[in-house]
């Protein structure tokens, strides 16, 4: 792959003028906030599995559907997936931040989500064919671990998952890659993308955004970097590209963030200065619709052109070394 001259696009992702597209005031039942939705492309409509936070502070998921993915959302009157602490004690304080991937082989959707257990947040997995009934596979990573998504296919015999454990050693919260023969038992863990250090926008703590997106040039990754400032945390987004056949190889990583909180609905809310995407859709015209939680309060949409995004990410540096991973 050639090293191109660094491209500059001021707006790789453009905010939709209808933002925020979904708010708690539109909900058919009382809620505190709606944000960080998982996204599924159902061909004739866009389905959002919305994280809804109630006024205890606990979250559940509710389905919202729209033909154009922008407006006229039909919001279901009942939650689609609620915490079930009796059978699943790890969900005692709610379920959060779903990432949805269609598994061709199984002909069903897989949802990785954060289960908020009394021992801390962990990664749980559920599957569904219709977003009405769900099969829980239970917790797949112990706490603290979040921001997980599967790849939609096996590599060789194994499934791959990206996720973000947080070590007590405070040596940095990085994006890890793990392997499984059956989606339930995971091993061969290794760091894939490291949080940088010092003054970088993505120092110390990063995490995956939407699930990896298959493109002609590799798996496109959008991740958040959390900058600690005197005023609190600042969530911004950067890009990376993984090898199509061997996703443990990081081909490119952006030095700069490509999207960050700017608008009033991103800068103020329950948690200020947060843009937090958990899903995106690539349409037939090469446009990416990125759905994100804004300030942990509402849901917003930004649109990008895949060609431009690839052009940009291919002009980004190759990582100097691969951190840990050598299993594939």
Beta-carbon contacts of residue 22 (< 8 Å; ≥ 6 apart): 34, 37, 48, 50, 64, 73, 75, 298, 299
Using the minimum distance from each CB to ligand BMA, give the nearer residue, 21 or 183. 21
- Which of 79, 139, 260, 293 is in the footprint of ligand BMA by CB under 6 A? 293
Closest-approach residue to ligand BMA (CB): 271
Angle formed at CA 34 by CA 29 and CA 40, multiple of 5 degrees: 105
- Which of 90, 97, 144, 217 is in the footprint of ligand BMA by CB under 6 A? 97
Structural Rg of the chain based on CA atoms: 18
What is the CB neighbour count within 10 angstroms for residue 287? Answer: 13
Using the minimum distance from each CB to ligand BMA, give the nearer residue, 213 or 271. 271
Q: Give the shortest CB-71-to-ligand BMA separation in angstroms.
A: 24
Is position 276 an interface residue for ligand BMA (rule: CB under 6 A)? yes
> Tokens 């990754």, residue?
221
Query: Are the C-beta atoms of residues 241 and 252 closer than 8 Å to each other?
Result: yes
Task: Count the site residues for ligand BMA by CB under 6 A.
Answer: 8
Q: Give the shortest CB-299-to-ligand BMA separation in angstroms.
A: 12
- Which of 141, 296, 300, 310 is in the footprint of ligand BMA by CB under 6 A? 296
- Which is nearest to 128 in space by CA: 149, 103, 151? 103
Q: Give the shortest CB-114-to-ligand BMA separation in angstroms.
A: 7
The SS3 assignment for 70 reads coil
What is the CB neighbour count within 10 angstroms for residue 26? Answer: 15
Using the minimum distance from each CB to ligand BMA, give the nearer residue, 69 or 293. 293
Q: Which stretch binds ligand BMA (CB under 6 A): 189-197, 241-249, 270-278, 320-328?
A: 270-278
The SS3 assignment for 310 reads helix
Using the minimum distance from each CB to ligand BMA, give the nearer residue, 80 or 208. 208
Is position 91 an interface residue for ligand BMA (rule: CB under 6 A)? no
Using the minimum distance from each CB to ligand BMA, give the nearer residue, 99 or 289. 99
Query: Are the C-beta atoms of residues 322 and 250 closer than 8 Å to each other?
Result: yes
- Which of 53, 90, 91, 96 is in the footprint of ligand BMA by CB under 6 A? 96
Query: Are the C-beta atoms of residues 249 and 240 closer than 8 Å to each other?
Result: no
Report the interface residues with ligand BMA, using CB under 6 A. 36, 96-97, 271, 274, 276, 293, 296
């Amino acid at each position: 792959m050639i090293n191109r001259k660094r491209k500059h696009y001021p707006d790789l992702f453009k905010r939709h003028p209808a933002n925020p597209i979904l708010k708690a005031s539109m909900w058919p039942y009382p809620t505190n906030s709606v944000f960080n939705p998982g996204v599924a492309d159902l061909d004739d409509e866009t389905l959002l599995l919305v994280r809804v936070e109630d006024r205890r502070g606990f979250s559940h998921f509710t389905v919202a559907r729209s033909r154009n993915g922008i407006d006229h959302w039909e919001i279901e009157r009942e939650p689609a997936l609620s915490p079930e602490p009796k059978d699943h004690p790890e969900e005692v304080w709610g379920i959060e931040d779903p990432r949805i991937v269609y598994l061709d082989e199984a002909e069903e959707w897989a949802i990785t989500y954060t289960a908020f257990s009394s021992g801390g947040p962990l990664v749980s997995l559920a599957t569904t064919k219709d977003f009405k009934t769900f099969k829980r596979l239970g917790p797949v990573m112990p706490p603290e671990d979040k921001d997980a998504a599967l790849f939609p296919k096996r590599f060789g015999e194994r499934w791959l998952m990206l996720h973000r454990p947080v070590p007590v050693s405070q040596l940095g919260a990085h994006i890890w890659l793990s392997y499984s023969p059956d989606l339930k038992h995971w091993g061969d863990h290794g760091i894939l993308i490291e949080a940088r250090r010092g003054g970088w926008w993505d120092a110390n703590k990063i995490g995956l955004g939407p699930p990896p997106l298959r493109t002609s040039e590799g798996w496109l990754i959008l991740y958040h970097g959390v900058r600690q400032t005197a005023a609190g945390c600042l969530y911004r987004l950067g890009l990376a590209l993984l090898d199509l056949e061997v996703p443990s190889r990081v081909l490119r990583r952006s030095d700069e963030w490509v999207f960050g909180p700017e608008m009033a609905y991103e800068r103020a809310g329950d948690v200020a200065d947060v843009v937090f995407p958990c899903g995106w859709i690539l349409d037939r015209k090469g446009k990416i619709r990125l759905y994100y939680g804004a300030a942990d309060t509402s849901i917003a949409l930004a649109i990008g052109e895949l060609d431009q995004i690839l052009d940009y990410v291919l002009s980004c540096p190759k990582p100097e070394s691969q951190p840990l991973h050598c299993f594939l």
